[in-house]
Amino acid sequence: MKSIIKSVAPMLMMLLAFSLNAETKNQITCTGSTTVLPIAQATAEVFMNNHAEINISVRGGGSGVGIASLQNKTTDICNSSRPLKSKEISTAKAKGINPIPYAIANDAITIVVHNSNLLNNLSIKQIKDIYTGNIINWKELGGANVPIVVISRDVASGTYEVFNDKVLAGAKVIGSAQLLASNNAVISAVSNTPGAIGYVGLGYLNDNAKLLSVNKVTPSELTVKNNSYPLSRKLYMYTNGKAKGIVANYIGFIQSDRGQKIVVEQGFINIK
Q: With 70 as the cut, is the pLDDT of residue 201 above it?
A: yes
Residue 185 is predicted with a pLDDT of: 96
Q: With 80 as the cut, is the pLDDT of residue 269 above it?
A: yes
| 215 and 244 together in one domain | no
Q: CA–CA separation, 187 vs 206, rounded Å?
A: 8
| 111 and 201 together in one domain | yes
R_g over Cα of the chain: 22
Q: How confident is the model at residue 16 (pLDDT cuts 50, 70, 90)?
A: very low
| 113 and 217 together in one domain | yes
Residue 3 is predicted with a pLDDT of: 47
Report pLDDT digits (tens) over 24-50.
579 999 999 999 999 999 999 999 999
Residue 249 is predicted with a pLDDT of: 97
Q: CA–CA separation, 219 vs 119, rounded Å?
A: 16
Mean per-residue pLDDT for 170-188? 96
* Domain-located, residue 200: yes
- Angle formed by the axes of helices 245-255 and 257-265, to 10°? 60
Distances (CA, A) of 51 to 19, 77, 222, 245: 19, 18, 35, 13
| Structural domain harbouring 27 | 2-106+236-265
* Domain-located, residue 147: yes
Residue 182 is predicted with a pLDDT of: 93
| 251 and 228 together in one domain | no
Mean per-residue pLDDT for 155-175? 95
* Domain-located, residue 270: no
* Domain-located, residue 102: yes
Q: How confident is the model at residue 14 (pLDDT cuts 50, 70, 90)?
A: very low
Mean per-residue pLDDT for 199-224? 97
| 245 and 222 together in one domain | no
* Domain-located, residue 271: no
Q: How confident is the model at residue 250 (pLDDT cuts 50, 70, 90)?
A: very high
Q: How confident is the model at residue 148 (pLDDT cuts 50, 70, 90)?
A: very high
Q: CA–CA separation, 70 vs 93, rounded Å?
A: 11
3-state SS, one letter per residue, for 154-188 = CCCCHHHHHHHHHHHCCCCCCCCCEEECCHHHHHH
Average pLDDT of the chain is 92
Percent above pLDDT 70 for the chain: 91
* Domain-located, residue 149: yes
Residue type, 96: G
Residue 115 is predicted with a pLDDT of: 98
* Domain-located, residue 272: no
Domain at 23, CATH number: 3.40.190.10
* Domain-located, residue 38: yes
Residue 15 is predicted with a pLDDT of: 42
3-state SS, one letter per residue, for the chain = CHHHHHHHHHHHHHHHHHHHHHHHHCEEEEEECCCCHHHHHHHHHHHHHHCCCCEEEEEEECHHHHHHHHHCCCCCEEEECCCCCHHHHHHHHHCCCCEEEEEEEEEEEEEEECCCCCCCEECHHHHHHHHCCCCCEHHHHCCCCCECEEEEECCCCHHHHHHHHHHHCCCCCCCCCEEECCHHHHHHHHHCCCCEEEEEEHHHCCCCCEEEEECCECCCHHHHHCCCCCCEEEEEEEEECCCCHHHHHHHHHHHCHHHHHHHHHCCCECCC
Percent above pLDDT 90 for the chain: 89
Largest CA distance in the chain: 90
Q: With 50 as the cut, is the pLDDT of residue 8 above it?
A: no
| 214 and 130 together in one domain | yes
| 100 and 111 together in one domain | no
Of 157, 183, 203, the closest CA to residue 43 belongs to 203
Residue 4 is predicted with a pLDDT of: 43
| 52 and 88 together in one domain | yes
Q: Which of the pair, 170 or 129, is modelled with greater confidence?
A: 129
Residue 6 is predicted with a pLDDT of: 46
Mean per-residue pLDDT for 208-226? 97
| 26 and 125 together in one domain | no
Mean per-residue pLDDT for 152-162? 94
Question: Model pTM?
Answer: 0.87
Residue 25 is predicted with a pLDDT of: 73
Number of structural domains (the chain) is 2
| 178 and 94 together in one domain | no
